[in-house]
Chain A
């Protein structure tokens, strides 16, 4: 069984981003970039499926600039067998990403597409669901446990108020939530080996998909600052402030 794992290059989750002075976007010049944390979890789950003998091949794919190769190399160092870079310097919205991935799905015919539930830059939480729609696949989003049995998958999902278990027919798109697993670190020998694994370079035009969006970003601003707070010296003082100053208790 083949597993396709879409990954995304995003600003490292520890970086506190700053908005550009011209309000066009956040400033990503000279900022550390990494694989989106949810994508790491998806890669890990795919590798575990391979270790269990459920998956036979793992293909990683990304859409982005040439530098996104680094994230594919990381995925291969973690266990992906080969990868595909769909190279574009344009900003790609979720719908376009889903259309490109749907073409890859058509070509590769994976049984499972394992991906992160959202990327920490745009915070959209859309691409897995959109891909499932375009490919005509079932979807299991926000997965915290995945069991594959024959042509079906049982997936425990994180929902408001608790957990829900659903069964989906394969092929399916599964999106990983934080508690699905603890991703491993890439070992040095594997990082070296990953340099020799195949990486196909493609463009959106190769798939006949035009990178265009009907969603325009007019401006990007910093959020309203909270006014500076004070430190209180004791619980009594805190109770007094809450009762008489903030009037919230």
Chain B
């Protein structure tokens, strides 16, 4: 039994979630290979080779895989994936885009966003916005799986796998990359941060988020937001935490001015400690908060920042 983990990366850099996915692969057990498909992705491949438990890194370095377009990468996975018992990747924007396409080409179902490995063919995953946990068993020859990174502790960087170039290139010619607008941020990445400070509709404006950023910086954390805050234009959409945004599980999650709709809770209720600051003491967020403070966030958040 051998497992192929598909790396999530930005060519020059491996994203941290890959180490979590390798941890999930180790729980399944078997020889672990790791695929880096991209353009000029040697640096990511070298970082991947250091992940503990990986025996071989395959590098498909070609212009066709440059922006990891689904049509091209899925075709590659369908071709080489047949020789593996499991294909795994992180439940990231790229993983979610590419993997179901590859699964259909392999004529197998996909198991999305697993949170635990029960055995080589049985996994747990949340359904209904995390309000139920399903245990599912797959009889497919190749198990195609995306992994919720926050549910597995990352492996160490103590390995030294061999790197093998994969001389394959498929350009389906169906799609092309035009441009990218990435939000510039020097704060830690939201899904990997130890502390997340999130603001909601209650923050009231884009300027109002200043106090959220200040508190996050004081704690060395990342900034998150509810859908209401994103839709109102206070922050960019990649900060959204929830069922349809990012799933986070930091040590400390501070929710300020967030009511706690089930779609938001789906993205953060596995955080170790949850603090809610809200002036409505009936807000549902208080039902999941370890520490709740009924107060005006415009007074409480700066005061908290000052006293930490």
Q: In the complex, what residues of A have CB within 8 A of residue B111's CB? A: 215
CB contact list, B58-110 vs A, under 8 A = 67, 69-71, 74, 92-94, 96-105, 107-110
Looking at A44-52, A139-147, A189-197, A198-206, the stretch in contact with chain B turns out to be: A139-147
Query: Would B136 and A120 count as touching, CB distance under 8 A?
Result: no
Query: Would A26 and B128 count as touching, CB distance under 8 A?
Result: yes
A166 within 8 A of B: yes
Query: Would B175 and A167 count as touching, CB distance under 8 A?
Result: yes
Q: What 1/0 flags go to B143-162 for Cβ under 8 Å of A?
A: 00000000000000000000
Query: Would A167 and B176 count as touching, CB distance under 8 A?
Result: yes
Task: Name 8 interchain pairs, CB-CB below 8 A, sorted by A.
Answer: A130-B100, A141-B97, A162-B180, A163-B181, A164-B180, A168-B175, A169-B173, A213-B109
Query: Would B139 and A126 count as touching, CB distance under 8 A?
Result: no
Q: In the complex, what residues of A have CB within 8 A of residue B175's CB? A: 138-140, 166-169
A239 within 8 A of B: yes
Query: Would B243 and A219 count as touching, CB distance under 8 A?
Result: no
Choose among A141, A162, A229 the residue that contacts B274 (Cβ–Cβ < 8 A). Answer: A229
Q: In the complex, what residues of B have CB within 8 A of residue A165's CB? A: 177-180
Q: In the complex, what residues of B have CB within 8 A of residue A242's CB? A: 252, 273, 275, 291
Q: State the main secondary structure of chain B at its contact with A.
A: mixed
A166 to B182, CA, bound (A): 14
Q: What 1/0 flags go to A154-174 for Cβ under 8 Å of B?
A: 100111111111111100100
- Distance to closest chain B CB from A153 (angstroms): 10
Choose among B69, B236, B300 the residue that contacts A235 (Cβ–Cβ < 8 A). Answer: B300
Nearest to A122 among chain B residues (CB) is: B127
Query: Would B174 and A231 count as touching, CB distance under 8 A?
Result: no
B304 within 8 A of A: yes
Say whether, besides A214-B139, A215-B137, A178 and B244 are in contact (CB < 8 Å). Answer: yes
Query: Would A133 and B74 count as touching, CB distance under 8 A?
Result: yes
Choose among B101, B128, B174, B291 the residue that contacts A120 (Cβ–Cβ < 8 A). Answer: B128
Interface contacts (Cβ under 8 Å), in number, total: 248
B12 within 8 A of A: no
Choose among A162, A214, A220, A241 the residue that contacts B183 (Cβ–Cβ < 8 A). Answer: A162
B113 within 8 A of A: yes
Say whether, besides A129-B100, A138-B175, A220 and B244 are in contact (CB < 8 Å). Answer: no
Query: Would B307 and A249 count as touching, CB distance under 8 A?
Result: no
Query: Would A162 and B290 count as touching, CB distance under 8 A?
Result: no
Q: What 1/0 flags go to A226-245 for Cβ under 8 Å of B?
A: 10011110111011011000
Query: Would A214 and B109 count as touching, CB distance under 8 A?
Result: yes
Query: Would A129 and B104 count as touching, CB distance under 8 A?
Result: yes
- Distance to closest chain A CB from B233 (angstroms): 11
Say whether, besides A120-B243, A158-B93, A229-B289, A125 and B275 are in contact (CB < 8 Å). Answer: no
Interface residue count for B (Cβ, 8 Å)? 89
B40 within 8 A of A: no
Interface residue count for A (Cβ, 8 Å)? 78
Q: In the complex, what residues of B have CB within 8 A of residue A215's CB? A: 109, 111, 136-140
B303 within 8 A of A: yes
Query: Which 8 pairs, one residue from A and one from B, show the smallest C-beta to C-beta distance?
Result: A129-B100, A138-B174, A130-B104, A133-B104, A126-B100, A162-B182, A165-B178, A229-B290
A17 within 8 A of B: yes
Q: What 1/0 flags go to A2-25 for Cβ under 8 Å of B?
A: 000000000101001101000000
A246 to B219, CA, bound (A): 15
Nearest to A130 among chain B residues (CB) is: B104
Say whether, besides A16-B262, A141-B96, A161-B182, A126 and B134 are in contact (CB < 8 Å). Answer: no
Choose among A122, A124, A219, A238 the residue that contacts B275 (Cβ–Cβ < 8 A). Answer: A238
Q: What 1/0 flags go to B212-237 for Cβ under 8 Å of A?
A: 00000001000000010011000011
A131 to B67, CA, bound (A): 21
Query: Would B181 and A238 count as touching, CB distance under 8 A?
Result: no
- Distance to closest chain B CB from A235 (angstroms): 4
Query: Would B135 and A239 count as touching, CB distance under 8 A?
Result: no
Query: Would A249 and B103 count as touching, CB distance under 8 A?
Result: no
Query: Would B237 and A123 count as touching, CB distance under 8 A?
Result: no
Q: In the complex, what residues of A have CB within 8 A of residue B137's CB? A: 215-216, 218
Query: Would A221 and B133 count as touching, CB distance under 8 A?
Result: yes
A127 to B104, CA, bound (A): 9
Query: Would A179 and B129 count as touching, CB distance under 8 A?
Result: no
A141 to B218, CA, bound (A): 36
A218 to B124, CA, bound (A): 10
Query: Would B132 and A221 count as touching, CB distance under 8 A?
Result: yes
Query: Would B177 and A124 count as touching, CB distance under 8 A?
Result: no
A232 to B292, CA, bound (A): 6
Q: In the complex, what residues of A have CB within 8 A of residue B107's CB? A: 95
